[in-house]
Structure 1
Amino acid sequence: MDFDKYLEGQSKQRPPLYESDSFIYWKNRFETYVKSKDLDLWHVITNGDFQPIVQNPETKLDEVIPFEKQTDDLKTRLVKNNEAKMVIYNAFQVKDNKIDLLVQQYEQFVIFKDESIDSAFARFNTIITSLKALDEGYSSKNYVRKFLRALHPKWRAKVTAIEESKDLTSLSLDELIGNLKVHKLIIKKDSEIVKAKVERKFITLKAKKESSDEECSTSGSEDEEYTMAVRDFKKFFKRRGRFVRQPRNDKKTFQRSCDDKNDKSDRKCFRCADPNYLIGECPKPSKDKNQRAFVGGS
Structure 2
Amino acid sequence: MASSGFSPAAPPIFNGEGYHIWVVKMKTYLQALDLWEVVNLDVELVPLRVNPTVAQIRQHADERTKRHKAMSCIQNCVLDVIFTRIMACETPKQAWNKLKEEFQGIERTRQQQLLNLRRDFENLKMEEETVKQYSDRIMVVVNSIRLLGEQFSEVRIVEKMISTLPERYEAKISSLKDSKDLTSISLTELINALYAQEQRRASRLEEHQKGAFQAKTKSSSSSFAYKGKMTLRDKPKSDAPRRRDQPCRHCKRHGHPEANCWFRPNVQCQYGPC
TM-score for the superposition, normalised by structure 2: 0.51
Q: Does 1:236 align with 2:251?
A: no
Amino acid aligned to 1:97: Q
Report the counterpart of residue 225 of structure 1 in structure 2: 237
Q: 2:156 aligns with which of 139, 142, 146?
A: 142
Q: Percent identity?
A: 16
Partners of 2:185 and 2:215 lie apart in 1 by 44
Q: Does 1:199 align with 2:209?
A: no
Partners of 2:250 and 2:151 lie apart in 1 by 109
Report the counterpart of residue 251 of structure 1 in structure 2: none
More helix by share: 1
Verify the 8 A CA contact 1:20 1:134 in the aligned structure 2: no
Q: Does 1:91 align with 2:106?
A: yes
- State the shift of 1:100 in Å: 1.0
Verify the 8 A CA contact 2:158 2:190 in the aligned structure 1: yes
3-state DSSP of counterpart to 1:111: coil
- State the shift of 1:232 in Å: 3.7
CA deviations 1:56-113 (Å, max 9, x no partner) are xxxxxxxxxxxxxxxxxxxxxxxxxxxxxx99x9632332122112211210112221
Amino acid aligned to 2:107: F
3-state DSSP of counterpart to 1:125: helix
Report the counterpart of residue 112 of structure 1 in structure 2: 127
Cα separation, partners in 2 of 1:167 and 1:236, compared to 1, 3 Å: farther
Give the aligned length: 178
- State the shift of 1:181 in Å: 1.5
Q: Does 1:185 align with 2:196?
A: no
Verify the 8 A CA contact 2:131 2:191 in the aligned structure 1: yes
Cα separation, partners in 2 of 1:20 and 1:100, compared to 1, 3 Å: farther
Cα separation, partners in 2 of 1:98 and 1:217, compared to 1, 3 Å: same
Partners of 2:138 and 2:123 lie apart in 1 by 11
CA RMSD of aligned residues (A): 4.0
Amino acid aligned to 2:121: Y
Cα separation, partners in 2 of 1:5 and 1:226, compared to 1, 3 Å: closer
Verify the 8 A CA contact 2:124 2:138 in the aligned structure 1: yes
- State the shift of 1:239 in Å: 5.4
Alignment of 1:12-31 (within 5 A): 21=24
Report the counterpart of residue 140 of structure 2 in structure 1: 126
Report the counterpart of residue 169 of structure 1 in structure 2: 183
Partners of 1:138 and 1:205 lie apart in 2 by 58
Amino acid aligned to 2:247: F
Which structure has the greater CA radius of gyration? 1
Partners of 1:118 and 1:179 lie apart in 2 by 11
- State the shift of 1:146 in Å: 0.7
Q: Where does structure 1 lack aligned partners over 5 or more consecutive residues?
A: 7-15, 43-85, 244-298
Report the counterpart of residue 3 of structure 1 in structure 2: 15
Partners of 1:153 and 1:214 lie apart in 2 by 50
Partners of 2:226 and 2:213 lie apart in 1 by 20
Partners of 2:241 and 2:17 lie apart in 1 by 99
Amino acid aligned to 1:167: D
Cα separation, partners in 2 of 1:227 and 1:142, compared to 1, 3 Å: farther
Amino acid aligned to 1:105: D
- State the shift of 1:188 in Å: 1.8
Cα separation, partners in 2 of 1:194 and 1:109, compared to 1, 3 Å: same
Partners of 1:212 and 1:178 lie apart in 2 by 51
- State the shift of 1:210 in Å: 0.6
- State the shift of 1:163 in Å: 4.3
Report the counterpart of residue 222 of structure 2 in structure 1: 208
